[in-house]
Amino acid sequence: MVDLAKISKLNGKKFAFKFVIESIEGREVLEFCNERLLELLKKAATNTIEPVNNIEFTGRPNEFGNIVANLFAVECRRLGLEYEKPRDISGKAKENGYPDGVIKFENAYFYVEVKSCEESKQNQTLRTFFYSPSSSSKIVHDAAHLLVCFLTKKDKFKLLLNGDFHIVDMSKKDVKLKLEYNASNKELYGRERL
């Protein structure tokens, strides 16, 4: 029997992201130290801004984030980077979950997560980064883990990139454990009714 009381005591605790991935996935999180790749990623991020803003997006922020991630991948490929959707251990490309992409560069792997954040909210404590363990994980290489965050602004009803971005080395970041028990609609609203 699992001792849920013991597990619950870990809720809200901070852990080094590096430790979390190494403990759960059995893969090393490497410190990022490739200046050539950093310059290419900065160029890809800069090149992403105009095509995103030309869309004049008016939908939900989550949908906007998906557009930004897809166009960033396009710009990485235009610069000659081998950017693709990560594959699980069986070789199947996966769309959902952490990370968004993987780059193979100079015989090394780099996982990339792309986010967008409203410029006025970048110092708030809202949870915006998520990693959930999976039985079909996309983390199959020892690699550096990078987060590329594009800052956004509103122009009337349009959501736009403001021209600024952050590239973060996740090997130096902590993450907080948030335990959650959940159920799907099917599980909740199936055949049983009062």
Top mean-pLDDT range of 119-123, 171-175, 177-181: 171-175
For residue 163, what pLDDT band results from cuts at 50, 70 and 90?
Answer: very high
pLDDT at residue 46 in the model: 98
The pLDDT of residue 192 is above 80: no
pTM of the model: 0.91
Per-residue tokens: 80: 């000659």
Q: Which percentage of the chain shows pLDDT scores above 90?
A: 68
Q: What is the pLDDT of residues 117-149, one digit of tens each?
A: 988 887 887 778 889 998 889 999 999 999 999
Pairing of strands 108-118, 158-169: unpaired
Amino acid occupying residue 75: E
